[in-house]
Amino acid sequence: MYKFNLQIKHLLEHGVRYAPDEEIVYRDLVRYTYKDFEKRVHKLASALEKLGVKKGSKVAVLEWDSHRYLELYFAIPMVGAVLHNVNVRLAPADILYILNHAEDELMFVNKDFLPLIEQAKDKLPLIKNYVVLTDDEMPETTLTDLEYEKLVESGDEKFEFPELEEDTVATLGYTTGTTGKPKGVYFTHRQLVLHTLSLGLFQSAFITDASFTTKDVYMPLTPMFHVHAWGVPYLATLLGAKQVYPGRYEPQMIMKLVLEEKVTFTHCVPTILQMIVNAIPEGVKLPKWKVVIGGAKLPKGLALAAEKKGIIVVAGYGLSETAPVLTIANYNKKVVNLPEDQKFDFKIKTGIPAPLVQLRVVHEDMTDVKPDGKEMGEIVVRTPWLTPEYLKDPEKTEELWRGGWLHTKDVAVVDEYGYVTIKDRLKDVIKSGGEWISSLTLENLLSLHEAVEEAAVIGIPDEKWDERPLALVVLKPEYRDKITEDDLKKHLERYVENGTITKWAIPDSIYFLDSLPKTSVGKIDKKVLRERFRS
356 near a copy of itself, rule: CB under 8 A: yes
Which x/- pattern over 386-425 shows residues binding a copy of itself (rule: CB under 8 A)?
x-xx-----------x--x-x-----------x-------
**Options 29, 91, 126, 207; binder of a copy of itself; rule CB under 8 A:** 207
Q: Could you confirm whether 395 is annotated as catalytic?
A: no
Among 100, 144, 332, 444, binds a copy of itself (CB under 8 A): 332
Sequence-separated (6 or more) residues with CB below 8 Å from residue 487: 449, 451
Q: Is 367 exposed, middle or buried (0-12, 13-18, 19+ CB in 10 A)?
A: exposed
From residue 95, give the alpha-carbon distance in Å to each of 102, 104, 124, 423. Answer: 11, 12, 11, 31
Contact code string over 133-152 relative to a copy of itself, x by CB under 8 A: --------------------
**Binding flag, residue 294, a copy of itself (CB under 8 A):** no
Decide: is 248 part of the binding site for a copy of itself (CB under 8 A). Answer: no
Question: DSSP labels for 278-292?
Answer: HHSPTT---S-EEEE
Helix or strand holding residue 273 (H, E): helix 270-279
Look at residues 495, 491, 449 and name the one whose alpha carbon lies nearest to residue 474.
Answer: 449
Per annotation, catalytic residue among 38, 321, 389, 467 = 321
Neighbours of 462 (CB within 10 A): 16
Active site residue 175: yes
Q: Is 399 a catalytic residue?
A: no
Active-site choice (168, 171, 175, 441): 175
Residues 8, 12, 19, 273: which binds a copy of itself (CB under 8 A)? 19
58 labelled catalytic: no
Minimum gap (Å) between residue 396 Cβ and a copy of itself: 14
Size, binding site for a copy of itself by CB under 8 A:
48
Sheet strands (E) in 141-295: 169-174, 184-188, 217-218, 242-245, 265-268, 289-293
Kindly state the smallest distance separating residue 346's Cβ from a copy of itself, in Å. Answer: 14
Q: How far is the CB of 301 from a copy of itself (least distance, A)?
A: 29
β-strand 406-414 against 377-382: which pairing, if any? Answer: antiparallel
CA dihedral 432, 522, 447, 462 (to 10 degrees): 20
Q: Does 31 participate in binding a copy of itself (rule CB under 8 A)? A: no
Among 334, 482, 532, 534, binds a copy of itself (CB under 8 A): 334
Angle at 97 (CA atoms; ends 96, 103), nearest 5 degrees:
95
Taking residues 173 to 202 in sequence order and writing x for each that binds a copy of itself by CB under 8 A, - otherwise, the string is --------------------xx--xx-xx-
343 binds a copy of itself (CB under 8 A): no
Sign of CA dihedral 26, 28, 32, 34: positive
| CA–CA separation, 248 and 246 (whole Å) | 6
Which residues contribute to the site for a copy of itself (CB under 8 A)? 1-2, 4, 6, 10, 13-14, 17-19, 21-22, 193-194, 197-198, 200-201, 203-207, 212-215, 238-240, 332-334, 352-353, 355-356, 358, 382-384, 386, 388-389, 401, 404, 406, 418
Catalytic amino acids? 175, 321, 431, 436
